[in-house]
Amino acid sequence: MSVPTGEGLFGPTPLGVLNVGLTSFAPPVTAAGGRVTSVAWRPPAGADPERAWRLATALADAEVDAANAIAVAAFLASDPVLVDVVPAATAIEALGGGARRLLHAGPPISFEEMCGPMHGALVGAVLFEGWAGDPVAAEALLRRGAVAIEPCHHHAAVGPMAGVLSPSMPVWVVEDRRSARRSFSSLNEGLGAVLRFGANGPEVLERLAWMRDELGPVLASTLAVTRSGESGGLPLRSLMAQALHMGDEVHNRNAAATGLLLRRLLTDLLACGAPISALGRVAAFIGGNDHFFLNVSMAACKAMLTAAEGVARSTMVTAMARNGVRFGIQVSGGGQQWFEAPAPVVKGLFFPGFGPDDAAADLGDSAITETAGLGGFAMAAAPAIAQFVGGTPSDALANSRRMARLAIAQNPAFTLPPLGFAPTVAGIDIRRVLDSGVLPIINTGIAHRAAGVGQIGAGITTAPLGCFVAAFDALFPPAGI
């Protein structure tokens, strides 16, 4: 077979082919000496003609555009400030008053449905609170419903991986100075055998007790000193913006942000009145955990996105979260309703001795960072993360460029130096997801599917299309429904 050269009409130049969609058409052309330029394309709206017509109408709807402008303006105007560390029972009403209630990551799910890591984390939280004396008794309490289980997101909170919060655990308190609304997140335990990956052994419970009895109170005293200053707390937007310029994307890479946090709190830490031995342990714990800022970043992103909630007809995504079984999103115009699809498997790099068959499905509330245009959306700022989640620095740049196709607007507060200081995405538009077929990218840790094993790798996944289809159909239902 030979490829026509266009002789006599275009001269001897080999035929160039523009291949749209399926790449399988390209090899025969290139094998015969032709040039192929492939364009990644898929039919909009999941190739459903009726939904595609509704999508075209929605994309041209000026009222939706106006609603999105309101939602994204509120997101951009938010001003997250770190103001306190308090016991979760003090911050979150649902955990107070002696209630036996635990919070978890992702959309609602029953204990029976949960994956192994979340089972393990809930059992650990029951043991930590002293509601049971051993894992068997703790699991029995959970199975018979003696401990209530609800999503963190329903209480202005977020948690990484299993995301379990119990009444005695200290939480970060982040306040949006524009609205005075507050968001919360647990303190990061570090890596290894930790509760968020489902571990619940003695060393896990001992660490949680130290965090409750020393780390939390010392940080609370430190932030009391910080609040007495001119800023009334620690502004987070500028810290996160600086971290992006230092190689972080504030989801899976937080080395710079953790260092900045420690540096900005250090003077107040020394002035907080805690014993010098306690100060040394706290500083060593923070300095030895490059992921320490992650939970602060999550609470800040939750605060920013909460500002965009509840705008009628808006198609802006305000939450993405996973419970290890289902992936859920919330949309500004959809209120607190969850739109769900099966949680995807994470593709990435595994620790020695582990592989894909060992992995739990995608898990955690940390995709709140991607929802805010950070994390996987900002991987261009953190090319070194490829060593942790897989891929290459070029892939990191390409991911950030591709995510820009989903944006309602741009966020000038957060910029990406390797892309010429291009602003990050401000607001994921479900219409653009369906129209482009581009799915939001998420970089994340990988938990073992069994409780207690812990983290076995890290990688990249995407939000499932089904969530966005469900949200779109709810906001723009077919005629007659």
141 and 55 fall within a common domain:
no
pLDDT category at 32 given cuts 50, 70, 90 is low
Question: CB-based burial of residue 79 (10 Å sphere; 0-12 exposed, 13-18 middle, 19+ buried)?
Answer: middle
CATH number at 432 reads 3.90.1700.10
466 and 372 fall within a common domain:
yes
281 and 366 fall within a common domain:
no
383 and 284 fall within a common domain:
no
Residue 431's pLDDT is what?
98
Q: How many CB atoms lie within 10 A of CB 31?
A: 10
pLDDT of residue 59 exceeding 60, the answer is yes
pLDDT of residue 151 exceeding 70, the answer is yes
Number of structural domains in the chain: 3
Query: Average of pLDDT values for 76-101?
Result: 97
Cβ density class 303-332: b for 16+ within 10 Å, e for less: bbbbbbbebebbbbbbbbbbbbbbbbbbbb
DSSP state at residue 338: -
* Residue 196, helix vs strand vs coil: helix
Residue 362's pLDDT is what?
94
Q: Tokens 């077979």 sit at which residue?
A: 1
Backbone region of residue 156 per phi and psi (left: phi > 0; alpha: psi in -120 to 50; beta: other values): left
pLDDT category at 74 given cuts 50, 70, 90 is very high
Residue 23's pLDDT is what?
66
102 is a domain residue: yes
Residue 191's pLDDT is what?
86
pLDDT category at 408 given cuts 50, 70, 90 is very high
Query: Average of pLDDT values for 57-83?
Result: 98
Residue 9's pLDDT is what?
37
7 is a domain residue: yes
Query: Average of pLDDT values for 36-53?
Result: 73
| Cα(79)–Cα(180) distance, integer angstroms | 10
Strands 326-331 and 317-323: antiparallel
Query: Average of pLDDT values for 124-150?
Result: 97
Strands 170-176 and 182-186: antiparallel
Task: Evaluate whether 106 touches 364 at the Cβ level (below 8 Å).
Answer: yes
Residue 10's pLDDT is what?
39
Closest CA to 291 of 244, 320, 256: 256
Residue 8's pLDDT is what?
39
162 and 278 fall within a common domain:
yes
**Beta pairing partners, 364:** 322
Domain boundary among 299, 321, 355: 299
Domain that holds residue 16: 1-41
Question: CB-based burial of residue 418 (10 Å sphere; 0-12 exposed, 13-18 middle, 19+ buried)?
Answer: middle
Q: Tokens 């430190």 sit at which residue?
A: 222
Residue 416's pLDDT is what?
98
8 is a domain residue: yes
pLDDT of residue 55 exceeding 90, the answer is yes
480 is a domain residue: no
pLDDT of residue 136 exceeding 80, the answer is yes
The amino acid present at 113, given as its one-letter code, is E
283 and 321 fall within a common domain:
no
Whole-model pTM?
A: 0.91
Q: At what angle do helices 255-270 and 276-287 cross, to 10 degrees?
A: 170
Residue 193's pLDDT is what?
87
Query: Average of pLDDT values for 282-288?
Result: 97
Query: Average of pLDDT values for 6-14?
Result: 50
**Tens-place pLDDT, residues 343-396:** 999 988 999 999 999 999 999 999 999 999 999 999 999 988 888 788 888 999
pLDDT of residue 144 exceeding 70, the answer is yes
The residues near 3 (Cβ < 8 Å, ≥ 6 apart) are: 14, 15, 29, 32, 33, 34
137 and 197 fall within a common domain:
yes
Residue 230's pLDDT is what?
85
370 and 289 fall within a common domain:
no
pLDDT of residue 15 exceeding 80, the answer is no
pLDDT of residue 324 exceeding 90, the answer is yes
**Tens-place pLDDT, residues 97-125:** 999 999 999 999 999 999 999 999 999 99
pLDDT of residue 17 exceeding 80, the answer is no
339 and 244 fall within a common domain:
no
pLDDT category at 71 given cuts 50, 70, 90 is very high
90 is a domain residue: yes
Strands, E, within 12-109: which ranges? 16-20, 35-39, 80-87, 101-104
Residue 69's pLDDT is what?
98
Domain boundary among 272, 299, 326: 299
Residue 378's pLDDT is what?
97
Residue 299 has which token pair? 């609470």
141 and 281 fall within a common domain:
yes
**Tens-place pLDDT, residues 181-233:** 999 999 999 988 899 999 999 999 999 999 999 999 999 999 999 999 988 99
127 and 258 fall within a common domain:
yes
pLDDT of residue 58 exceeding 60, the answer is yes
Report residue 109: phi and psi, to 5°: -160, 145
421 is a domain residue: yes
Task: Evaluate whether 157 touches 321 at the Cβ level (below 8 Å).
Answer: no
What percent of the chain shows pLDDT beyond 70?
A: 92
Strands 157-158 and 182-186: parallel
Radius of gyration, CA atoms only, the chain: 24
Residue 21's pLDDT is what?
59
269 and 122 fall within a common domain:
yes
Provide the Cα torsion 27, 434, 404, 72; round to 10°: 180
Which of 5-9, 20-24, 337-341 comes out lowest in average pLDDT? Answer: 5-9
Residue 455's pLDDT is what?
87
CATH number at 144 reads 3.90.1710.10
pLDDT category at 454 given cuts 50, 70, 90 is confident
For residue 309, CA distances in Å to 101, 296, 335, 337, 427 come to: 26, 20, 7, 11, 11
304 is a domain residue: no
Residue 197's pLDDT is what?
93
379 is a domain residue: yes
Look over the chain and give the mean of its residue pLDDT values, rounded to a whole number. 92
